[in-house]
Amino acid sequence: MRWAAVAALAVLLALPAVLSSYALTIFILIFFYGFLGQAWNIVGGYAGQLSAGHAAFVGVGGYTATMLATAAGLTPWLGMFVGAALAALLGAIIGYLGFRFGLRGFYFVLLTVAFAEICRVAVSNIDALGGPLGLYITFTGDPRQFQFQDARAYYYIALALMLAATAIAWAIGRRRFGVYLAAIREDETAAEACGVNAFRYKLLAMVVSSFLTGLGGTFYAFYLFSLQPNSLFGIPLSVEIILRPIVGGAGTLVGPILGSFILTPLAELSRLYLGGGGLHGAHLIAYGVLLIGVVLFLPEGAYPRLRRLFERRISRP
């Protein structure tokens, strides 16, 4: 398994040399959404706390780094950590309110959605942040400003982000922290009866998850060169983040990555081939049909099912 991971990494590192510009864009989006899905997976998969407002952390990170770059001249390479810290602070506030008052399930989902909507409305009404039209970043091609002439640079940065988030999730899963999160996910009452401080560990998972997601906001801003409140803080982006680990297998290390490799090309290709002409909305129908199929036939996600099939094949004489 380890050699397979090394071989896959070697292929991904060499792949940009043979990819077309459009294929390169798809891989950048695969890595980026895989990164965001892995960040969400820490609190949503490992801890079982279903946040549906993670777009708020992307927005806070993106707007902070952009404003620091345009108004204060701070390089986004540093501004991204300031934005991530503010996103972590917001995550701590949401987690404190939700976990201190014992909100679970749909109630915690509503809390996270409410905060994302508050952020969206607030940013839309602040003229210094561009109001409802948002902010646009002037392209200079200066690497110090997180801008690159060659799209392959974005490819490697997105890949590094995804691998970093995966390494953090792997480290969490192998430590007592991950064991406690799994216990909380399976039965929080029983975990607390065994001495696990559920509030502390859920809050810590929320802070780590929101910090990583905030880092992604800077990549979002300086890859697309624009930030609009409705798209950056809106529910659709939160749903896109959640879908990757759910389809791939929430609570597993490979699940968010596999889910991104499944959903991201499907979304882009269906939009390309079914979104034009007289087939307006057909790409969304195709996307929805696949999701329905996954929910019905792979409720635990694609990775757990593939792993079981692989283990059965190996165990056969």
Pull the structure tokens for residue 172: 């969490």
Q: Can you give the pLDDT at residue 4?
A: 78
Alpha-carbon dihedral 55, 59, 60, 66, rounded to 10 degrees? 160
Q: In this structure, what are the phi and psi dihedrals at residue 273, rounded to the nearest 5 degrees? A: -95, -20
pLDDT tens for the 317 residues of the chain, in order: 677 788 888 999 999 999 999 999 999 999 999 999 999 999 999 999 999 999 999 999 999 999 999 999 999 999 999 999 999 999 999 999 999 998 988 899 999 999 999 999 999 999 999 999 999 999 988 999 999 999 999 999 999 999 999 999 999 999 999 999 999 999 999 999 999 999 999 999 999 999 999 999 999 999 999 999 998 999 989 999 999 999 999 999 999 999 999 989 988 877 777 665 556 666 667 777 877 887 788 888 888 888 888 777 776 66
For the four alpha carbons of 169, 174, 178 and 183, in that order, the dihedral sign comes to positive
Alpha-carbon dihedral 210, 28, 146, 122, rounded to 10 degrees? -40
**25, 151 Cβ separation under 8 angstroms:** yes
Residue 261 and residue 309: Cα distance in Å, rounded? 19
Q: Can you give the pLDDT at residue 280?
A: 63
SS (H, E, C) the chain: CHHHHHHHHHHHHHHHHCCCHHHHHHHHHHHHHHHHHHHHHHHHHHCCCCCCCCHHHHHHHHHHHHHHHHHCCCCHHHHHHHHHHHHHHHHHHHHHHHHHCCCCCHHHHHHHHHHHHHHHHHHHCCHHHCHHHCEECCCCCCHHHCCCCCHHHHHHHHHHHHHHHHHHHHHHHCCHHHHHHHHHHHCHHHHHHCCCCHHHHHHHHHHHHHHHHHHHHHHHHHHHCEECHHHHCCHHHHHHHHHHHHHHCCCCCCHHHHHHHHHHHHHHHHHHHHCCCCCCCHHHHHHHHHHHHHHHHCCCCHHHHHHHHHHHHHHCC
Residue 21 and residue 228: Cα distance in Å, rounded? 25
In angstroms, what is the C-alpha Rg of the chain?
A: 20
Q: How distant, in Å, are the alpha carbons of 13, 37, 161, 187, 248 from that of 183?
A: 37, 21, 28, 6, 21
**Which residues neighbour 116 within 8 Å (Cβ) at sequence distance 6 or greater?**
52, 53, 54, 55, 56, 59, 233, 234, 235, 238
Domains of the chain: 20-315 (1.10.3470)
